[in-house]
Structure 1
Amino acid sequence: MIKWLRDKLDDFKRKGDPFKLDRIKICFMYLIFGFVWVYFSDRIVNRFVYNPSVRMLIHTYKGMVYVLFTASVLYYLISNLLRKVEQADQKLRVSEEKYKAVINQMQFGMALYEGASGEDIFKYRLVDSNHSYEILTGLKKEEIIGKYFFEIHEDVVPENLEKLIRTIKTGESTSYERFQKNTDFYYEVLASRPKENQLAIILNDITKSKQAEERLHYLSYHDQLTGLYNRRFFEDQLLQLNSPNYYPLFITMADINGLKLMNDSFGHAAGDIYIQKVAEVLREGFREKDIISRLGGDEFIILSPNTDAAEIKELIGRINERTKHEAVHKITLSVSFGYSVKCRAEESILDVLRKAEDYMYKKKLLVSAGIRGKTIYTVMAALHEKNPREEQHSLRVSELCEKMGTALGLQEDEVKELKTVGLLHDIGKVAIEEGILNKKGKLVEQEWAEIKKHPEIGYRILSSVNELSEMADYVLAHHERWDGNGYPKGLKGNEIPVQSRIIAIADAYDAMISERSYRQALPKEYAISELVKGAGTQFCREYVHVFIDKVVYDNAVSV
C-alpha cells in the first residue's frame, strides 16, 4: 500500500497535477476514517455493551451512521475540490483569452497546421492563425481555417517546400524569405514542429529592411539625381559588352554646355534641374538597349551595342533637335556629343573611349563660346524680369559710364567696354531672391549679406565667357571703397580698377535719383551733395569732380 501511494505521489508530481493534494486528502480521509470506525467501534461496543440484543441493534445502525457521516465528509471535500477546479478553469479561460489577445496583437504572423500520423504536408489542415498572419498574407482567417496546406499555399517554391517537409519529419526548425505579391509584403518564414504532427509557421515582416536593402542596391548602380546608371555600372557594362557579340559597339560621350554658368547664375538647385532635363532628353532619345550613364557633374556616357554609324548620327540628331525645345529659366538646353566605335577585338576599348572624349571636346569648343554669350544675355533678361527697375537702372548706369569715359578722354574701344560693363554691373543680382530685391522696407542684416554677394556672383558668371573675363574683374570691384572699407576684397585707392571706380560713382548717383522699392527718387542736388561728401572716402575724389562737372552739369559732353 505504502509503495502504491509513493508511486501515485511520484506520478502526480511528474504530471504537475494542480489538484493532486486534494485528491490524496480525500483518499486518506476515507481510508483513515473507515479504519478507525471499523476497528475501534467494534471494540468499544463489545467492551461497554453486554446485552446481545442492544449490541445487535447498535451494529445494525452503526453502518448507517458510518455511511451518512462519510457521505457528508466526502460531499464537503469533493465540493471543495470541484470549486477549486471551477476557479482554475476560470483562470485558465482568462489566461487563454489574454494569450489569444496577445497572439492576435503580435506583429509576427502566426499559424498552426495539424495532420495525422504519417500524412504529408499537403494534408495538414490550418487549425489557427492570428490577425498579423491575415495582414501579411492577405488570407482571411474565416476563409482558410480548416483548409489543407496545398489549398492555401499553391505557389510554394519547391526548395522551400522541402524545408517544411524536413521540419515535419525531423523536428528541425527552418526559415526562408518570401514576397507576397497581393500584399506587397516581404516576410521571413520561420517553421518549427511544436508537437508531433504539427507545423507552426511564424511570419516576420522584413519589408522595410528589404526595401532599404533594395534601395542601397539601386543607389550602388544608379545616379541619385537623374536615376540613370552611374560610373560603377558603366564600368561593369563596359567589360561585359567588350565582346564580338556586341560589335559594332558605339561609345558616345555627352557633356552639358554652360552648366557652371547656370549654377552661378541661378544656383545649384537650378543646375540640378538642368541636369535632370538633359537626362530626360537622353533617356527619351536613345533606345531601350542603349545603356545611359552619368559619370558625374555635366558628363554622360552611352554604350550602344550592335549599332552602326548611321543609327548613332540619327539618334544624336534627334536629341539635338529635342534640346532646342527644352529650357530651364529660359536658358535652352545645350549638349555636346562625341562618339567612337569598336569593331574588332584587337582594338583597345580604352582607346575607343578616349577617341569619343576627344571628339566631344572638339565639338564643345566650337559651340561653348556662343552658348555662353547667349546665356549671359538670357541671364540679364531673367534679372530684368525679376525686377523691371533693374533694366532701366542698368541702361542709365551704362549711359553715365559711357559719358564719363568720353569725359576722361578714354579710347573709343575703352568707352565701349565701359558702356558694356555698366550694363552688366549688377548681373549677379539674378541669384538674389526676388523678395529681397523688391523689398519695400529696410533690409535686415541677413538680407543685406545676401545683397553683398552679387559682385562675386556677377564675377563668376562673366568670367565663364573668355571675351568678358576682364569685365568680370571690374564688376567684382564696383562696390570697393576708396578708403578700403568696401567689399568683397577691401581694395583701396589705386588698387581699384579705373572702370570699377567709374561704375561705383554712376551706380550710386543713379540709385539716389531713381525711384526704389523702399523710397521715392531723391533730388539731383541731394545726390550731388552725397557724392561730394563721399569723395576721398567712398569714391575717387578726382573722378567725383569730373563726373559732376562733365557728366551731370556739362551738357556739352556728347556720346
Structure 2
Amino acid sequence: MPRQKNTCETSLISVTQLSDFMNYVPGAMYQYRVTPSGNGVFDFASEGISDIFGCKAEEAMMDQQVVLDAIHPDDLDDVFSVTFQVAKEGGLWDARFRVNHPEYGLIWVQGYSRAESLEDGSVRFHGHFRDVSEEESIKQTAIHYQEQTARNNRLLESIFDHMPAGLWLVKPDGSIPMSNRWFQENYQVDRMQQSVCQEGDRDAFESEETIVREEEITFSDGEVHTVRSVKVPLKDDADRITGLLGIGMDITDYKQIEEALHLEKEMFRTTLMSLGDGVIATDNKGRVTLMNRMAEKLTGFRMDEATGEFFDKVFYIINEHTREKCDSLVYKILKTGENSEMEKDKLLKNKYGKEIPVEDSAAPIRSIDGGVKGAVIVFRDHTVEKERIRQIEYLSFHDQLTDLYNRRFLEEELNRLNTERNFPLSVLILDVNGLKLLNDAFGHAKGDELLRKVAKTIRQQCRADDIIARVGGDEFTIVLPKTDPQEVEIIVERISEGLKQFNVGGLPITASFGFETKFREEEPTEHILRKAEEKMYRQKIADKQKIAYQAVETIMQTFFDSFPNEEEHAERVGLYAEMIGTEMGVDRLRIQELKTAGLVHDIGKVALPLEMMVKADRLSEDEREEIERHPEVGYNILNAVNQYGNLSEIVLAHHEKWDGSGYPKGLKKQEIPLEARIIAVAEAYETMTTKQAYREAMPEEDALAVLQKESGRQFDPEVVAHFLSIREP
C-alpha cells in the first residue's frame, strides 16, 4: 500500500508540473481534435490562449467558436484549408494569420502543430500559438524598405539614363565603367572606352579638386558643340581617389543665346548712349540705375554720381512761370503703372543751376509677370524747338518782311476791339504807290526796302495801342481804338510827312489813304473796312497817272545821272531815229515819238547791277541773259503811264530781228513795229561808231558795211537802205 501511495503522488506531481509548464510557456499550448464529421474541439488549452485570442482556456475548450471568431475574417478560410489538408495528409501544421484581439487590437499569430490520428478516425493536433506581431512588423518594414529601395534604384537608373546631360564614371586608369545614354550617343564612346575629356580628368585626378570648364567637342551629328564639363573626384574612406564623376551639359544653344543677348545688349547700350535724347532709368523706388551721355550732359550729373540717387535730385524740374518745383513723373508712373508726358512750360534745373526747357515722356519698366519694376524717362533739350515754335507763333501773326502784324492777327484784333469802350474805332488803310514800278526798275530788293521804310514810318507816327498790319503786297491797315475822324486825319498827315523823309532808288515814297470810323457796335466791321478801302482806291486812281509819270521821269533821270554815257548814247540814237523817220516820210507826230523812243529805249537797264554796266570783259552767259531782260523791264516801267503806252511797245521790240531770231518775243519782219525796226538800226550804228569799255570805235564805213551785211537778217532792208542813203556822200 505505501508503495501504491507514492506512485499516485508521483503521478499527481507530474501532471501538476506539466500543467504549470504548459501555462508558463510563452504563447498558448493546445490540443485540437477534428472529428470524422468535421467538427473541431479544443481538448486542451493553456491559460496563454487568452493572450492570443482574448478568451479564457475554459471558454475555448467549451466552444471553439470563441477562437474562430477572433481570427481575421480574411484569414479564416486559409486557416481551415491548412487544417483540413494536414488532417487528411498528415504532417506539420504551420500557419500565420491575423487575430482581432479585444484588448490588443490586430495582432499577428504564428501556429505550429503536429497531427495524430486516433482509433475513432479523429485527428488530434498538438501545437502552440505565439504572438509574432513584432516579428511581422519587422518583416513588413524590411519588405517595404526593399521595395522602396528597388523603386528608388529604378528611378535613379531612369534619371541617370534619361538625363539631358552626360553622366559617367572614370577610373584612375582612364576607363569608363559606367555612362548614361546621352554620353554614349553624343560622345560616341562605349562604356569601356577612354574618356574624351582626358585633359580635364588628369587635372581633377592631380589636383584632387572639382574641375569646371567649357570644352569644344564634336558630337555624333558631326557638329562642334560647346560642353560645360564638371569633374568631381570620388574618394574612399581612406581619402584615396577611386575615380571621377563626370557631368557634361551641352550649352551650345545657351552660348548662342548668350552671344545674341550680348550683341543685343551692346546694340542697345550703343544706341542708348548715342541717342540725341536723354534717357534715365530708375528702380521701383525711384532711384537712378542708368543714364546715357545726353542725360549726363543735360543734368550735369555723371553716371557714377547719379546711380542710386533719387530721381528728383538728378532731374529737378520747375515751372517756368511760377518757379515752383514740379511733381515727378517717375513716382506717378511707379504708382499708376501708366505712361505719362510732362506738361509744357517746364524747366530742367541742372546740377550747375542752368535752366533748360525740356519735354519728356516716361513709361513703366515691367517684369515678366507685369509688375512695375521701375521707370524709364526720355527727354530732350527743348530750347531750339521752343524758340522755333515761338518764331512760328510769331510769324503766324506777323509779316516776315516788315515785322508788323498780318491779316490773321488784324482780323482777330478787330473782333476783340469791337466793344463799346474802344469807340470811336477807326480803320485806316494805306496803299504804297509805285511798288510794282520800283520792283520792275530796281528789283525786288528795292521794293522790300520801300515797304520796310513805310512800316517804320507808320510805327513812328502811331500810338502803342494802335494795331498796324501789312495785309497785302503794298497795302497796310491800321486799327485805331478811341480815335475819331479828325484824329485820323492828323495821323494821315503825320505819316505822309514822315514818308517824304525817305526815297528809294531816287524815287520819293508816297501812299494813298482811306479811312472810316465806327461809332456803334451794331455797325458791321466788314462794312467799315470796305468803305475805308473804297476811299483809298478812289484817291489812288485819281493820283495814279501823275505819280507814275513822276516816277518814270525820276527813274530816267536817275539812270542818266548814274551813267552819263548812256544819256549821250540815248540822245544820239534818238537823233538817228529822227533822221531815218524823216527820210522814210514818217509823219511829224510819229517822228517826235521816234525821237522820244530813242531817248528811253534802254530805260530797262536801270535794273542791271552797276558792275555789269561798266564791265570791260566779255559778258558771261548768265550776264547776257540778265541784260536781255532790259526790253521787258523798260516795257513794264513805261507801261505804268498811259501816255507812254506806244513807247512801251517800241521799247519792248527794239531788239527783235528781221529774221525772227531776236528777243524777247522772236517777232519777225512786219510783226515788229516800224519804230522798233528804226530804233534797232539807229542803236546798232551808234554803238558801233562809239568807243566802248571793251573796244575802240569802229570807222563809219565799217559800221555801214555791217548794216549792209545784216540787212534782211538782223535789220529791215528798207530801213537800212534809207539810212545808207543819208550817211553815204
Compute the TM-score of the two structures, normalised by the length of structure 2.
Answer: 0.55
Residue 235 of structure 1 deviates from its aligned partner by 2.8
Number of the residue aligned with 1:390: 566
Change (3 A) 1:520 1:143: same
Residue 522 of structure 1 deviates from its aligned partner by 0.6
Measured against aligned partners, the alpha-carbon deviations of 1:158-186 in whole angstroms (never above 9, x if no partner) come to: 99628654423333332224443745543
Residue 294 of structure 1 deviates from its aligned partner by 2.5
Number of the residue aligned with 1:54: none
1:167 aligns with 2:333: yes
CA distance in 2 between counterparts of 1:213 and 1:278 reads: 28
CA distance in 2 between counterparts of 1:139 and 1:367 reads: 70
Measured against aligned partners, the alpha-carbon deviations of 1:396-443 in whole angstroms (never above 9, x if no partner) come to: 212333445566666665444333221100112233455554444444
Number of the residue aligned with 1:266: 442
Number of the residue aligned with 1:180: 347
Question: Is residue 160–residue 176 contact of structure 1 (8 Å, CA) maintained in 2?
Answer: no
Number of the residue aligned with 2:293: 131
Aligned pairs, number: 484
Residue 474 of structure 1 deviates from its aligned partner by 1.6
Q: Which residue among 386, 405, 427 is the counterpart of 1:251? A: 427
Measured against aligned partners, the alpha-carbon deviations of 1:322-378 in whole angstroms (never above 9, x if no partner) come to: 333334433343332221111111222122111111121233234433432333244
Q: Which residue among 190, 193, 203 is the counterpart of 2:378? A: 203
Number of the residue aligned with 2:465: 289
CA distance in 2 between counterparts of 1:391 and 1:422 reads: 10
* One-letter amino acid of the counterpart of residue 597, structure 2: V
Measured against aligned partners, the alpha-carbon deviations of 1:240-296 in whole angstroms (never above 9, x if no partner) come to: 333324322221212121111122223334434433443344345434433333323
Number of the residue aligned with 1:36: none
Change (3 A) 1:67 1:221: farther
* Structure 2 gaps, min length 5: 1-147, 153-163, 168-234, 248-260, 349-353
Change (3 A) 1:136 1:369: farther
Measured against aligned partners, the alpha-carbon deviations of 1:102-133 in whole angstroms (never above 9, x if no partner) come to: 755443423456797xxxxxxx6667644322
Change (3 A) 1:160 1:541: same
Give secondary structure in 1 for the equivalent of 2:342. Answer: strand
Number of the residue aligned with 1:16: none
Change (3 A) 1:170 1:539: closer
Number of the residue aligned with 2:142: none
Give secondary structure in 2 for the equivalent of 1:357. Answer: helix
Change (3 A) 1:470 1:189: same
1:109 aligns with 2:281: no
Change (3 A) 1:346 1:508: same
Change (3 A) 1:388 1:127: same
CA distance in 2 between counterparts of 1:524 and 1:458 reads: 29
Matches within 5 A, 1:46-445: 66=237, 68-69=239-240, 104-111=273-280, 129-137=291-299, 153=316, 155=318, 161=327, 164-178=330-344, 179-180=346-347, 182=354, 184-192=356-364, 200-205=375-380, 207=382, 216-381=392-557, 383-384=559-560, 388-404=564-580, 414-443=590-619
Question: Is residue 580–residue 678 contact of structure 2 (8 Å, CA) maintained in 1?
Answer: yes
Question: Is residue 379–residue 430 contact of structure 1 (8 Å, CA) maintained in 2?
Answer: yes
CA distance in 2 between counterparts of 1:481 and 1:115 reads: 87
CA distance in 1 between counterparts of 2:453 and 2:305 reads: 51
Change (3 A) 1:399 1:161: same
Number of the residue aligned with 1:84: none
Change (3 A) 1:166 1:67: farther
Question: Is residue 428–residue 461 contact of structure 1 (8 Å, CA) maintained in 2?
Answer: yes
Residue 472 of structure 1 deviates from its aligned partner by 0.7
* One-letter amino acid of the counterpart of residue 358, structure 2: Y
Question: Is residue 485–residue 516 contact of structure 2 (8 Å, CA) maintained in 1?
Answer: no
Question: Is residue 112–residue 198 contact of structure 1 (8 Å, CA) maintained in 2?
Answer: no
CA distance in 2 between counterparts of 1:286 and 1:134 reads: 51
The structure carrying a bigger strand percent of its residues is 2
Residue 142 of structure 1 deviates from its aligned partner by 8.0
Number of the residue aligned with 2:68: none
* One-letter amino acid of the counterpart of residue 153, structure 1: Y
Question: Is residue 466–residue 481 contact of structure 2 (8 Å, CA) maintained in 1?
Answer: yes
CA distance in 2 between counterparts of 1:107 and 1:114 reads: 23
Larger radius of gyration: 2
Residue 473 of structure 1 deviates from its aligned partner by 1.4
* One-letter amino acid of the counterpart of residue 318, structure 2: D
Give secondary structure in 1 for the equivalent of 2:471. Answer: strand
Matches within 5 A, 1:22-41: none
Change (3 A) 1:545 1:100: closer
Change (3 A) 1:102 1:510: closer
Change (3 A) 1:528 1:107: closer
Give secondary structure in 2 for the equivalent of 1:369. Answer: helix
Give secondary structure in 2 for the equivalent of 1:155. Answer: strand
Change (3 A) 1:547 1:184: farther
Number of the residue aligned with 1:14: none
* Structure 1 gaps, min length 5: 6-20, 26-63, 78-91, 117-123, 555-559
Number of the residue aligned with 1:86: none
Give secondary structure in 1 for the equivalent of 2:693. Answer: coil
Give secondary structure in 2 for the equivalent of 1:296. Answer: coil
Question: Is residue 312–residue 328 contact of structure 2 (8 Å, CA) maintained in 1?
Answer: no
Measured against aligned partners, the alpha-carbon deviations of 1:472-531 in whole angstroms (never above 9, x if no partner) come to: 112122233445554434445554434323322221111111012332101122223333
Answer with 331-340 or 93-102: which moved more.
Answer: 93-102
* One-letter amino acid of the counterpart of residue 334, structure 2: I
CA distance in 1 between counterparts of 2:550 and 2:301 reads: 64
Number of the residue aligned with 1:28: none
Matches within 5 A, 1:405-554: 414-443=590-619, 447-482=623-658, 484-535=660-711, 538-550=714-726, 552=727
CA distance in 1 between counterparts of 2:482 and 2:374 reads: 55
Give secondary structure in 1 for the equivalent of 2:479. Answer: strand
Change (3 A) 1:546 1:154: closer
Answer with 250-259 or 472-481: which moved more.
Answer: 472-481
Answer with 285-294 or 487-496: which moved more.
Answer: 487-496
Greater relative contact order: 1 or 2 (C-alpha under 8 angstroms, separation 6 or more)?
1
Change (3 A) 1:188 1:521: same
CA distance in 2 between counterparts of 1:67 and 1:305 reads: 114
Measured against aligned partners, the alpha-carbon deviations of 1:369-392 in whole angstroms (never above 9, x if no partner) come to: 343233324433554466553232
CA distance in 2 between counterparts of 1:486 and 1:420 reads: 22
Give RMSD over aligned pairs: 4.7
Residue 217 of structure 1 deviates from its aligned partner by 4.5
Measured against aligned partners, the alpha-carbon deviations of 1:47-89 in whole angstroms (never above 9, x if no partner) come to: xxxxxxxxxxxxxxxxx9737458x999x99xxxxxxxxxxxx
CA distance in 1 between counterparts of 2:709 and 2:559 reads: 32
Answer with 248-257 or 530-539: which moved more.
Answer: 530-539
Answer with 288-297 or 273-282: which moved more.
Answer: 273-282
Measured against aligned partners, the alpha-carbon deviations of 1:187-226 in whole angstroms (never above 9, x if no partner) come to: 2131536699986351332746666655554444443444
* One-letter amino acid of the counterpart of residue 260, structure 1: K
